[in-house]
A and B are shown apart, each in its own frame.
Chain A
Amino acid sequence: MTSNPTTISTGMPPRPSFWARLQGGLLALPLALVLLTFLAVPVGIVVAVSFWDYNDWEVIPDFVTFNYVELFTSRLTYILYAKTLKFAFLVWACTLVIGVMVAYVLTFRIRSTKWQIVLFLVCTIPFWTSNIIRMIAWIPVLGRHGLVNGFLEQTGLIGSPIEWLLYSEFAVILAFVHLYALFMVVPVFNSMARIDTSLLEAARDAGASGIQTFFMVILPLCRPGMAIGSIFVVALVMGDFVTVKMMSGGQAASVGVALRNEIALLQYPPASAAAVILLLFVLAMIYGLTRIVDIRKEL
């Protein structure tokens, strides 16, 4: 490659030739097109529509801000966010505990690689079928005359069926945990599998008990995996409406359910505004998380 003397004297790297730049641009083009068509344009449309006007039968291109003003002044918004955050927090806490436990067993208690793979595949079995079917599967288990109530009644532990098992917040959280636990297991397992076993021996050599080793060595080294799992779980729960609707029997609401209802009523501008705020909210949460944990270590 030739470079002219002036660029050398200023200490700048030589400017790549036109063809080299064209080549680089062409290589980046397919991904850029995909992101533009399927991410940037749709998000742009949602943002644009959130500033439109509407009435009972049409949306009117305009620039108004009352969709946002209504959203922020309505008490319902805050109640919905509180409820959704409560779901997100409880599901996050449950999946974190389950994820760490499953990953620990897979990594440190299963000696043979063959069994690690087999058990890992077992964890993915629920994903062989659709979300909806997995949720419906809970109905005969948790229902008024379902397996759990039937068993408890037969053994005489309860006199009448427990009502809060199905169509309740409990059912919503149970279904969420069931649906999303794997999203926590995988990244935590990935983190744990990278821990050098000689670190555990070093801890043992220094007199650490199993529990001390777990909390002082293993868990801190899994932070990036836990952070990635948390992003998956929180983002999925924050945006969900199907699970909440089905498992609560319509008795619980969330940000996603409210948004869905607005779309069903063809109120696209306020729905768009709600979507934009939800998106910003989730992005802010993820940003906050990446401030605490350096997830790039895992990527």
Chain B
Amino acid sequence: MSELKGHISAKSLTKAFGSALAVDDVDFTIPAGSYCCLLGPSGCGKTTSLRMISGHDTQTSGSIAIDDRDLGTIPPAQRPTAMMFQNYALFPHMTVEDNIAFSLRVKGSDKAVRRQRAGHLLEMVELTDFAQRKPNELSGGQQQRVALARALMMNPSVLALDEPLSALDPFLRLKVRAELKALQRRLGITFLHVTHSQSEALALADQIILMNSGKLEQVGTAEDLYHRPETAFAAQFMGVQNVFRADGVQSGAEMRIFRPDGGQAGGALYRAPIDAFSFTAGETPANAGPATPAKVSAIEYAGDHLSLTVDTQPGDVGLKVQVPLEAAAMNPPVFDQVGTLTIKPESLVELTR
């Protein structure tokens, strides 16, 4: 593999739309040649960050550098970036080949060069036979590959992908996801991929930048975010941790649980992986660590286990519990069943926010 390209560094990056801050004083660096996912709920500033890096939005303040070159406010075409748009933004009146060769055409390259280079990229995305088709004659997956080829035609160091998989059906999404990752490794450039799907980010990313309300929530590897979320938001967003306030967790006796948002006073903020919880119907088991009464409020089948939501009594804080299928077969949970929720005390991690 050739030298890795596409080291990004953003310093105090801020974007204001009127008085609203879409991105609020954000700093991050992304290593060259890495697959980075900008993750977060809608409106968290991830797309705005991507658009500022690729030059389609201008930052209100702060700076962006790629491979140690400060980009200032130069237009997208002069940046070592290329953008793949959410709905692909293919030119409907041009053939697949002309779409891919568009950046060469505006540069004034002659037709032979355009054909040859477009042919090379068509081969790479396996669309050679479709060169003379119009975009509306292609399937969603094929259109996605045309958009990818058109962006790669610009030889970017950073490929900006705005929700590239959201328009595909779930089966195709998994396939294309693997293709994107393979392509990124082969090209040795940075892929900056905006998504709101944590499973997508976990599957793809060398580095995840989790954002919320215009700020960075956590930056780290997939493993970091999955197993070691640093904030209540990160823990909840990744979906494999329970987040709550509690007191009495160390004593091994009666534990009181409160909502994590601080609406109810008392206790410290904790997270714990869902598999550290267990729910027992009926009587309280002995020597089981901190425990609290709880009532089953939802039961979901999750393939290899049942996923329960139990509401603590009192407090009514909904927490997730996994029940192995064998246990569920012996003692099937039912709605509104009252029992005891216990936690392995060593799995609790105290959070500061």
Contact = CB atoms under 8 A, between A and B. Distances in A.
B197 to A, nearest CB: 21
B82 interface: yes
Interface of B: 54, 56, 75-77, 82-83, 85-87, 89-93, 102-103, 105-107, 150-151, 153-154
Contact of A198 (B75, B87, B103): B87
Contacts of B90: 202
Given A205-B54, A205-B83, A208-B106, 6 more contacts: A196-B89, A198-B85, A201-B83, A202-B83, A207-B77, A207-B154
A227 to B, nearest CB: 14
A255 to B, nearest CB: 36
Nearest to B156: A205
Interface residues of A, number: 17
A215 to B, nearest CB: 10
B154 A221 contact: no
A15 to B, nearest CB: 35
B92 A205 contact: no
Contacts of A217: 91
A220 interface: yes
Contacts of A196: 87, 89
A206 B107 CA distance: 9
A212 interface: yes
Contacts of B82: 205
Interface of A: 196, 198-199, 201-209, 212, 216-217, 220-221
Given A196-B87, A198-B87, A217-B91, A203 B102 contact: yes
A199 B91 contact: yes
Nearest to B151: A205
Nearest to A208: B106
20 contacts: A198-B85, A202-B83, A202-B85, A202-B89, A202-B90, A203-B91, A205-B54, A205-B56, A205-B76, A205-B83, A206-B77, A206-B106, A206-B153, A207-B76, A207-B77, A207-B106, A207-B107, A209-B106, A220-B93, A221-B93
A205 to B, nearest CB: 5
Q: Which among B54, B89, B153 has the greatest number of chain A C-beta atoms within 10 A?
A: B89
A204 B105 CA distance: 13
Contact of B76 (A204, A212, A216): A204
